[in-house]
Amino acid sequence: MLKQIMQIDRRIIFILVALAVIIPTLLKVSFPITISEPTRKLYDYIEDLPSGSTVLIAFDYGPSSMAELQPMGTAFLRHCFQKKIRVIGMTLVTEGATLGYETMQEAAKTTGAIDGVDYVYLGFRPGTIQVMLGMGTTINNIFESDYKEKPLAEIPMMEGIKNYDQIDLILDLASSSTTEAWITYINTRYNQKIAAGVTGVIISQMYPYLQTEQLIGLMSGLLGAAEYETLIETPAKATKRMSVQSFVHLLVFGLVILGNVAFFIQKRENENV
Amino acid sequence: MRRQVPLALCFVFGVVMVLIEFSPHPYSKFLYNEVINWSLIITPFALVLGVATLVQTHWIRIRRRAEYWQYSFVVFIGMIVMVTIGIPFGPSHKAFAWLFKYIQTPMDATMFSLLAFFIASASYRAFRARTLEATLLLVAALIVMIGNAPIGDLIWNKIMPFGENLPSTARQWILENPNLSSRRGVILGVSLGVISQSIRIILGIERSYLGGGD
């Protein structure tokens, strides 16, 4: 019996994971979300900004991480648009160009934000650090036109926005090391306020920067997105997906406990023999 | 000359860029902006190099009939289709966006989603409290995992009369204390390593970036 538990066929585990995903999706269960301090700090910062402020959001991720990061982007953009805060979107990752555009369009549609007036999407430019540093001199020098090839000089929202001096916050939605580059090069050199929304796997890397306030706020994985949705009182994709994540986490938790209980019983039996 | 010139350029630019950091003079700002502009111009060439290497690798695979060489045709078809639409019409064109949204995005997301199944299976098999270190790691991982899901707090609050939302509080404590301390150590170590390696490159002691051996 113990041996069978220890050597359970991995296909059975795959089926259990599939069920843990499918059942909560069909039942549409939801759980109360506890708000963490780093997410609240970001929310409070946006709440305290006066309308007409400008934030820059960098969609530095590809399709593999969009399940976690896209809901963060949508929730954050909704909050900004509701508060009449202007948003500049861009990406340092090739695949992020289309994803960022879609996210901005989706948030704009639900809040009535107008392209060129309430938000501008600049798209992608190659050269991560050079792009960051170049924007510190003039944004226009790096992005001469927006994603739809409209010159920045003809976009009303960009009037008076030259570089980071006119930007109140940069939010980096990242699945790799771009947040650390934003902190190292832009926070340090330009004293620019930076916040981040990152995937669950890299969240542990961000805490030293949070303590030193080089990051003013942080959304951690899908949970961070669900927390932000709760804060703006608009439960959406992340809140729904959190129920699925909850069941899968619970399943893995149970499997690890079961595996270890079986391991210890077998170990004791072997010692007695 | 083939080695001396790059070494000299590396030394001059390395030293100048370090000095610029400490000088607020307008000339130094001008020079800084110029160097940023130059590097912005140089960067896209890396993309060209990447594409050339990709083509070369897959062309060789097809010519040599290496294992699964047929898939290299898929790489070429995908690249040709995206480039044919992307270059003349731009990435905001409907056709390009459609290909990205309905082909690339689902494929990429699917590959990543498979991880959930393998992680569940691997954690069941390999995550064992064999030693003290492994036990500490296991306990921390379980707390962070259950604290990362709202169901953890819900179950705890239902069955325990004390410590409201303890799983998420414990998760936050682990991230903000033991995790933060160890990460800071790693960051400091890496930073010192980067500084020493940079000095070696600027002074021409470290030359492996030039390629072709010493």
Name every chain B residue with its beta carbon within 8 A of the beta carbon of A14.
Answer: 117, 120-121
The answer to whether the CB atoms of A250 and B146 lie below 8 A apart is yes
CA–CA separation, B57 and A163 (whole Å): 41
- Give the tokens for residue B23: 């000088």
Task: Please give, rounded to a whole number of angstroms, the shortest distance from the CA of B42 to a CA of chain A.
Answer: 9
pLDDT of residue B209: 84
Average pLDDT over residues A51-72: 96
Written as one letter, the residue type at B158 is K
pLDDT value at A3 more than 90? no
**Interface with A, mutate which of B20, B34, B151 (most A CBs under 10 A):** B151
Segment 80-119 of chain B within 8 Å of chain A by CB: 90-92, 96-97, 100-101, 104-109, 111-113, 116-117, 119
A 10 A CB-CB count for A103 gives 25
Average pLDDT over residues B173-201: 95
Starting at the earlier edge strand, list the strands of the sheet with A194-198: A119-124, A86-91, A54-60, A169-174, A194-198, A218-220
Residue B69 φ then ψ, to 5°: -60, -25
Nearest to B154 among A18, A31, A37 (CB): A31
**Under an 8 A CB cutoff, do A250 and B151 touch?**
yes
Inter-chain CB proximity B183 and A251 less than 8 Å: no
Confidence of residue B2 (pLDDT cuts 50, 70, 90): confident
Query: Which ranges of chain A would DSSP assign to H, the alpha helix?
Result: 2-6, 10-27, 37-48, 66-82, 96-111, 128-137, 139-142, 178-181, 188-190, 203-211, 221-231, 237-272
What is the pLDDT at residue B213?
A: 55
Task: Say if B3 is an interface residue toward chain A (CB within 8 Å).
Answer: no
pLDDT grade for B180, boundaries at 50, 70 and 90: very high
Chain A's closest residue to B168, CA to CA, is A34
B165 with A34: Cβ contact below 8 A: yes
With H, G, I as helix, E, B as strand and everything else as coil, classify residue A54: strand
| pLDDT average, residue stretch B154-178 | 92
Higher per-residue pLDDT: A270 or A225: A225
Two structure tokens written together for A223: 């949970």
State how far the alpha carbon of A144 is from the alpha carbons of A80, A90, A125, B38, B58, in Å.
Answer: 25, 13, 11, 17, 36
The pLDDT, as a whole number, for residue A221 is: 93
Residue B161 — pLDDT band, cuts 50, 70, 90? confident
Q: What pLDDT is recorded for position A63?
A: 93
Question: What was the pLDDT predicted at B153?
Answer: 92
Alpha-carbon span A14 to B116, nearest angstrom:
9
The position carrying tokens 């001008």 is B30
State the nearest Cα–Cα gap between A13 and chain B, in angstroms. Answer: 6
ipTM of the complex, rounded to two decimals:
0.85
β strands within B95-170, DSSP E: none
CA of B67 vs chain A CAs: smallest distance (Å): 27
CB contacts < 8 A (A, B): 167
**Mean pLDDT throughout B16-22?**
89
> Does the beta carbon of B39 lie under 8 angstroms from any beta carbon of chain A?
yes
Residue A30's pLDDT is 85
| Topology given in CATH for the domain delimited by A37-234 | Rossmann fold (3.40.50)
Domain spans in chain A, listed from the N-terminal domain onward: 2-28+246-272, 37-234
Convert A141-174 to b/e letters by CB count within 10 Å (16 or more is b). Answer: ebbeebbeeeebeebebbeebebbeebbbbbbbb
Per-chain mean pLDDT for chain A:
93
A5-14, A232-241, B10-19, B126-135: least confidently modelled range: A5-14
For range A253-272, the mean pLDDT = 89
pLDDT tens for A106-155 read 999 999 999 999 999 999 998 899 999 999 999 998 999 999 989 999 99
Residue in chain A closest to B167 (alpha carbons) equals A34
What local confidence, expressed as pLDDT, does residue B23 receive? 86
Q: Are A267 and A76 in contact (CB under 8 A)?
A: no
pLDDT at B212: 65
**What is the per-residue pLDDT for B90?**
83
Of the pLDDT bands very low, low, confident and very high (cuts 50, 70, 90), residue B33 is confident
* Tokens encoding A80: 């900004």
pLDDT band at A57 (very low <50, low <70, confident <90, very high): very high
Q: What pLDDT does residue A127 have?
A: 87
**CA angle, A114 as apex, A90 and A133 as ends, to 5°?**
20
CA distance A116 to A162: 15
Helix (H) or strand (E) holding B116: helix B105-126
- Binned at pLDDT 50, 70 and 90, residue A266 comes out as confident
Give me the percent of chain B exceeding a pLDDT of 70. 99
Q: Is the dihedral of CA A53, A206, A188, A185 positive or negative?
A: negative
pLDDT (tens digit per residue) in B67-97: 999 999 999 999 999 999 988 988 888 899 8
Please compute the mean of the pLDDT values over residues B50-59 and round it to a whole number.
Answer: 94
- pLDDT (tens digit per residue) in A179-221: 999 999 999 999 999 999 999 999 999 999 999 999 999 999 9
Tell me, yes or no, if B5 comes closer than 8 A to chain A by beta carbon.
no
B49-54 long-range contacts, Cβ below 8 Å, gap at least 24? B51/B79, B54/B79
Residue of A13, A66, A250 lying closest to B124 (CB–CB): A13
pLDDT (0 to 100) of residue A6: 76
B 155-184 near A (Cβ less than 8 A): 165, 168, 172, 175-176, 179-180, 183-184
CB-closest option in A33, A147, A263 to B128: A263
Would the pLDDT of A73 be above 90?
A: yes
